[in-house]
Amino acid sequence: MKIVYDGVSFSYPSKTALKNVSCEISPGSVALVVGHNGSGKSTFLKLMNGILKPTQGDVRLEDVNTRDKRVSELARYCALSFQNPDDQLFASTVMKELRFGSENIMGDGSLVDAVSGILHLEDYLQMNPLSLTYALRRLVAIGGSMAMDTPILALDEPTSGLSQREKAYLGSLISHSKSLKKTVVIVTHDLNFLLPFADDILMLSHGEVRYFGGRDNLFDRNDVRQLMAGCGVRYPIYARMSATLGAGKYCYEGKELIDELIKRKAGAAQRTNGQHQLEGA
């Protein structure tokens, strides 16, 4: 499902959080929203599922203007997992939490088993979510949103508090969402982990768009480091290593970088061999 922000501004009573934001997120893509603390990222997501309505401009989910629908209706289009999982959890067991949205809003529940498997929640299904660790509570909250099986999945800082292993579960969930052609929008400070999944990047600073476009186009820009620094975004480690080690292209994860370096080394060795053969001839 396509998501369009058209000249969107949003003001809280004491603060303008977003100013004239425009972007179009393609159906089935993964978009990362980044920016410094207070730049408006969570506000951006809350406008997507209609908890907030724009002060100016429009947010459209395909041809539905969020102004024209109640939050309960928009819940069929967009599931939002909150920045703080404890703001979301309310059911008495993990199983009920995973089933609630999927049965009461979308009326199906067919994703519940898949989600609990992908996030490794099977051993906790009968436990009270609030008795679990912070990381597990976050996974349950994310799982509850995903299990709703909406065309749009919005995740607010989903890797926060997760171990590497738990992040890998989240990665599998994002890949699964992609295979189901969902549009996934993720607010994050964790580009090191999430860049490999991204199609597009939205960079915010003080509520304004500093960049919106393809991930690769962003890293092709000469001013990418300054742009990120200006938005309080740490330059991702593998992009830094790609440049330092002369990988020849930007790599977004360790394996890709190692493969690229091996390929270049093999290419260089072949060229040297060819040179020696020419010289020996």
Ligand X SMILES: Nc1ncnc2c1ncn2[C@@H]1O[C@H](COP(=O)(O)OP(=O)(O)OP(=O)(O)O)[C@@H](O)[C@H]1O
Contacts to ligand X from residues 36-65, by CB under 6 A: 37-43
Q: What does 38 bind: Mg ion, ligand X, none (CB cut-off 5 to 8 Å by kind)?
A: ligand X
Near ligand X by CB under 6 A: residue from 30, 31, 35, 193: 35
Minimal CA–CA distance to 78: which of 25, 154, 26?
154
Q: Considering only 34-42, 122-130, 250-258, 262-270, which stretch makes contact with ligand X by CB under 6 A?
A: 34-42
The CA dihedral of 119, 125, 130, 70, to the nearest 10 degrees, is: 70
Q: Which is closer to ligand X, CB of 29 or CB of 39?
A: 39
Which amino acid, residue 173? L
Nearer to ligand X, 19 or 41 (CB): 41
Minimum distance, C-beta of residue 37 to ligand X, in the bound complex (Å) = 4
The answer to whether residue 159 forms part of the interface with Mg ion (CB under 5 A) is no
Applying CB under 6 A, the site for ligand X has a residue count of 13
Please say which residue, 80 or 139, places its beta carbon nearer to Mg ion: 80
Q: Name the residue nearer to Mg ion (CB basis): 94 or 228.
A: 228
Residue 208 corresponds to which tokens in the numbers above? 């304004």
The residue range among 31-39, 73-81, 139-147, 241-249 that interacts with ligand X, by the rule CB under 6 A, is 31-39
Please list, in sequence order, all residues whose beta carbon lies within 8 angstroms of the beta carbon of residue 117, skipping any fewer than 6 positions away. Answer: none
Task: Find how far residue 11's CA is from the centre of its chain.
Answer: 24
Q: Which of 42, 102, 150, 177 binds Mg ion (CB under 5 A)?
A: 42
- Residue nearer to ligand X on the CB measure, 19 or 137: 19
Q: Which of 160, 140, 155, 214 is nearest to 186 (CA)?
A: 155
**To which residue do tokens 């768009």 refer?**
209
Q: What share of the chain is helix, strand, coil (3-state, %, to 5)?
A: 45, 20, 35
Site residues for ligand X, 185-204, by CB under 6 A, read none
Footprint (CB under 6 A) of ligand X, residues 72-131: 83
50 binds, among ligand X, Mg ion, none (CB under 5 to 8 A by kind): none
Separation between Cα atoms, residue 207 and residue 28, nearest integer Å: 25
Nearest to 129 by CA among 166, 80, 89, 156: 89
Query: Do the beta carbons of residue 197 and residue 30 sit within 8 Å?
Result: yes
Q: Which amino acid is at 29?
A: S
Instruction: Single out the residue of 7, 15, 131, 269 in contact with ligand X (rule: CB under 6 A).
Output: 15
Please identify, among the stretches 19-27, 32-40, 104-112, 137-145, the one whose residues bind ligand X according to the rule CB under 6 A: 32-40
Minimum CB distance to ligand X, residue 202 (Å): 11
User: Does 151 engage in binding with ligand X (CB under 6 A)?
Assistant: no
17 lines the binding site for ligand X (CB under 6 A): yes
Residue where the block lists tokens 């609630």? 100
| Contact by Cβ (8 Å): 85, 127 | no
Quick check: 69 and 53 in contact, CB under 8 A? Answer: no
CB nearer to ligand X: pick between 129 and 207: 207
Handedness of CA 168, 122, 94, 74 (dihedral sign): positive
Contact footprint for ligand X (CB under 6 A): 12, 14-15, 17, 35, 37-43, 83
Contact footprint for Mg ion (CB under 5 A): 41-42, 83
